[in-house]
Chain A
Amino acid sequence: MISSNLLAIFYLISGVLFILALRGLSSPETSRQGNLFGIIGMAIAIGVTIISVGNFSTGFLYLLVLLLIGGSIGAFIAFKIPMTAMPELVAGFHSLVGLAAVFVAISAFLNPEVFSLGSPGNIKVASLIEMSLGAAIGAITFTGSIIAFLKLRGIMSGSPITFFGQHYLNLILGIILVGLVFYLCKTQADIWFWTIIIISFLVGILLIIPIGGADMPVVISMLNSYSGWAAAGIGFTLENTALIITGALVGSSGAILSYIMCKGMNRSFFNVILGGWGATDQSSSNHSKEQKPVKSGNADDAAFLMKNASSVIIVPGYGMAVAQAQHALREMVDALKKNGVKVTYAIHPVAGRMPGHMNVLLAEANVSYDEVFELEEINNDFANCDVAYVIGANDVTNPVAKTDPQSPIYGMPILDVEKSKSVLFVKRSLSPGYAGIDNDLFYRDNTLMLFADAKKMTEDIIKSL
């Protein structure tokens, strides 16, 4: 047994180590050390909690066994998962945090003496509010993340599911939740607590189904944020500083990422949450199907253009991840560099299905991170570049965002690909991107369309180089 003051100090140390873990991510050099701080912080928190409970009987054995089982599953997944599956992995992990929060809240509700919150049927009102908040947010995180996981994994269609009155239904459920918390505090009856959890599960599903595939970066960040607030809610219930600090950190981290993602699409957070582009704009994409001349080429043309260029900028997008083309891409770049071509990579904030998705894939393919640039850093370079190689990106290069105020993506910051001397656009067909609008770039004089699978085309170019 250790005194509760000492325990609180250890939790504070854990919290500080977690802050340092995030701080480490400010540069790749310090990031590995940061991760280590995080692991130490976690070990301290778990260690002192076990000591403080001081129960080393059968229960402790179970604890060790369960830690081992859970840990092995986690470690197995961590080592086996391909990097392209990172978005669904993160969504899956969020769901676990959410469900764990729900379980801890249930446990605290059923056995409040353990956490000194009063006795069953006579729990402090503040604690009841805190645990219902933790349970509700946890439950929303759980089902929401499951839906996000299914969409990212392709088990569920990525297109938005909307129905009449959806937003009103969500609003009504939200009001019902507030009412239920009120009744729970008044009557202390179990039934209200269980109803809160069930309705929150439902809200989680309803919140995520109307959001389309390409808005997933926002959704994942948002669920990241929710899992933090759920942890903070439980932290207040259990009066545990480590949980409160961590919950606040994770909550604000997810919120900032959501903000960055929304800004990358020039949309408000509510616009994204209230349902997708894809749903509203499908009609407008169909009637503008007139035939416009398109120049298309093959791998030899592309190889010739790039070999004779002095600088090439690569613009990767979700299509690169789908085709698993990152390794082939890096080989192509290596071959170009041997020919004395200067090659850099340009990454749009919302490229891919989660924040930083493209960076991880390029890192996996051994691309040095100082060759990879963000939108603001590289956008002026397109004007001086000979060839832009667009692989798997679409909407984020569409010049319409700058020229046509009618367009749904008007105002979205885009990569100024059209300013480069020539554009090589790898794509399987002329079909519009997620936003459902035609890409003006396809029909420009300086654009050469390469109709093929991203990986296949890149490999063919390597052969011709």
Chain B
Amino acid sequence: MEIDPFIFRFSIFILSIFIGYYVVWSVTPSLHTPLMSVTNAISSVIIVGAIIAALAGETENIFDTANIFGFLAIILAAVNIFGGFLVTQRMLAMYKKKKKEIK
């Protein structure tokens, strides 16, 4: 009997949870705020769904209700992607180890 493709996706899902579990435990507590902002940015990969939803359908009829929701989702996700990665970058740039100070 053939395996439903859903089972494969579900396997990926479960294994990714485990990867996430071990990777996140190894994140140093002082970087927990950047961790939140970067997870925020990457969860905006939902934009791929938005792009498909927005651009799909006949080219003449791009302003179907379904497309409009796609376009709206694109704006929201774009704010998040740029905002999330850039603010993470800005925070991480501040974490410096200073040279021993001269007394």
Number of A residues whose C-beta is below 8 Å from B? 117
CB distance from B56 to the nearest CB of A (A): 4
Q: Which 6 A/B pairs are nearest by Cβ-Cβ distance?
A: A70-B78, A74-B83, A356-B32, A74-B82, A248-B16, A252-B20
* Chain B minimum-CB-distance residue to A245: B16
Q: CB within 8 Å of B: which residues of A?
A: 11, 14-15, 18-19, 21-23, 25-28, 31-32, 34-35, 38-39, 41-42, 45-46, 49-50, 53, 55, 57-60, 62-63, 66-67, 69-75, 77-79, 81, 83, 86, 89-90, 93-94, 96-97, 99-101, 103-104, 106-108, 110-111, 114-115, 126, 220-221, 224, 227-228, 230-232, 234-254, 256-257, 260, 337-338, 340, 347, 349, 354-357, 359-360, 363-364, 366, 368-370, 372, 374
Q: Which residues of B contact A66 (CB under 8 A)?
A: 71, 74-75, 78
Take A19-B23, A355-B32 as given contacts and tell me if A224 and B39 are in contact as well, using a CB distance cutoff of 8 Å.
yes
CB distance from B45 to the nearest CB of A (A): 5
Inter-chain CA distance A343–B84, complex, in Å, is 33
Q: Is the interface of A mostly helix, strand, loop or mixed?
A: helix
Ordered by A's residue number, 22 sampled pairs between the chains whose C-beta atoms are within 8 Å are A19-B19, A22-B24, A22-B27, A26-B28, A28-B28, A49-B47, A63-B71, A66-B74, A73-B83, A74-B84, A93-B80, A93-B84, A97-B46, A103-B76, A104-B70, A107-B69, A260-B29, A354-B36, A355-B35, A363-B95, A369-B97, A372-B30
Inter-chain CA distance A114–B64, complex, in Å, is 13
Contact of A256 among B6, B24, B43, B90 (CB under 8 A): B24
Most B CB contacts (10 A, CB to CB) among A14, A104, A357, A363 go to A104
Take A96-B79, A100-B77, A252-B17 as given contacts and tell me if A86 and B52 are in contact as well, using a CB distance cutoff of 8 Å.
no
CB distance from B49 to the nearest CB of A (A): 4
Q: Is the interface of B mostly helix, strand, loop or mixed?
A: helix
Q: Are B85 and A107 in contact (CB under 8 A)?
A: no
Most B CB contacts (10 A, CB to CB) among A27, A59, A235 go to A59
Q: Are A249 and B48 in contact (CB under 8 A)?
A: no
Inter-chain CA distance A352–B74, complex, in Å, is 33
* Chain B minimum-CB-distance residue to A94: B40
Q: Which residues of B contact A242 (CB under 8 A)?
A: 45, 48
Contact residues, B18-63 vs A (CB, 8 A):
19-21, 23-57, 59, 62
Take A18-B42, A90-B37, A249-B16 as given contacts and tell me if A63 and B48 are in contact as well, using a CB distance cutoff of 8 Å.
no
Q: Which residues of A contact B52 (CB under 8 A)?
A: 49, 53, 114-115, 238
Contact of B83 among A42, A93, A366, A368 (CB under 8 A): A93
Q: Which residues of B contact A14 (CB under 8 A)?
A: 45
Q: Are B31 and A25 in contact (CB under 8 A)?
A: yes
Contact of A250 among B39, B57, B67 (CB under 8 A): B39
Q: Are A41 and B42 in contact (CB under 8 A)?
A: yes
Take A59-B62, A368-B96 as given contacts and tell me if A356 and B30 are in contact as well, using a CB distance cutoff of 8 Å.
yes
Q: Which residues of A contact B13 (CB under 8 A)?
A: 232, 235-236, 244-245, 247-248
* Chain B minimum-CB-distance residue to A240: B48
CB distance from A155 to the nearest CB of B (A): 20
Q: Are A100 and B90 in contact (CB under 8 A)?
A: no
Q: Which residues of B contact A224 (CB under 8 A)?
A: 36, 39-40
Q: Is B101 an interface residue (CB 8 A)?
A: yes
Q: Which residues of B contact A370 (CB under 8 A)?
A: 97
Inter-chain CA distance A104–B11, complex, in Å, is 23
Take A75-B82, A126-B6 as given contacts and tell me if A257 and B56 are in contact as well, using a CB distance cutoff of 8 Å.
no
* Chain A minimum-CB-distance residue to B87: A78
Inter-chain CA distance A444–B19, complex, in Å, is 48
Q: Are B76 and A100 in contact (CB under 8 A)?
A: yes
Q: Are B36 and A90 in contact (CB under 8 A)?
A: yes
Q: Which residues of B contact A67 (CB under 8 A)?
A: 74, 78
* Chain B minimum-CB-distance residue to A376: B29
CB distance from A117 to the nearest CB of B (A): 12
Take A100-B50, A249-B42 as given contacts and tell me if A354 and B33 are in contact as well, using a CB distance cutoff of 8 Å.
yes
Inter-chain CA distance A231–B13, complex, in Å, is 11
Inter-chain CA distance A247–B76, complex, in Å, is 17
Q: Which residues of A contact B75 (CB under 8 A)?
A: 66, 69-70
CB distance from B99 to the nearest CB of A (A): 9
CB distance from B80 to the nearest CB of A (A): 5
